[in-house]
Amino acid sequence: ELKVEQNPLFLSMQEGKNYTIYCNYSTTSDRLYWYRQDPGKSLESLFVLLSNGAVKQEGRLMASLDTKARLSTLHITAAVHDLSATYFCAVGDNSGGSNYKLTFGKGTLLTVNP
């Protein structure tokens, strides 16, 4: 059974600071996703990482994937208040055959303080 662990679960940081959210998973997977969720809203896709060493950047967020370590990171650079949200990583699980599905981490609630 695929397990996905995110940490930290809660992150309070000041504007302008840098921080990293970690996502570990237990079995081999060919893709990893990062999503953002604002309160009361659905998920917004941030990144899809498909290969070892993949790095993607969008604005102040950068995601990377190390499939050998089964680890993905979401790095936040010079945080701003607008980044406050819950961030989820999700790992592709093809163990069910044709029913490819995602297993989600518990999420990281990020609060950026002025």
Residues 6+ apart with CB under 8 A from 38: 44, 85, 86
Nearer to another protein, 4 or 79 (CB): 4
**Which residues here bind another protein, judged by CB under 8 A?**
31, 33, 35, 40-43, 45, 48, 50, 88, 92, 96, 98-107, 109
DSSP state of 98: T
In whole angstroms, the minimum distance from the beta carbon of 88 to another protein comes to 7
Nearer to another protein, 18 or 111 (CB): 111
Residues 6+ apart with CB under 8 A from 96: none
Nearer to another protein, 76 or 92 (CB): 92
Looking only at the bridges linking them, the beta strands covering 10-14 and 108-113 are parallel
In whole angstroms, the minimum distance from the beta carbon of 86 to another protein comes to 9
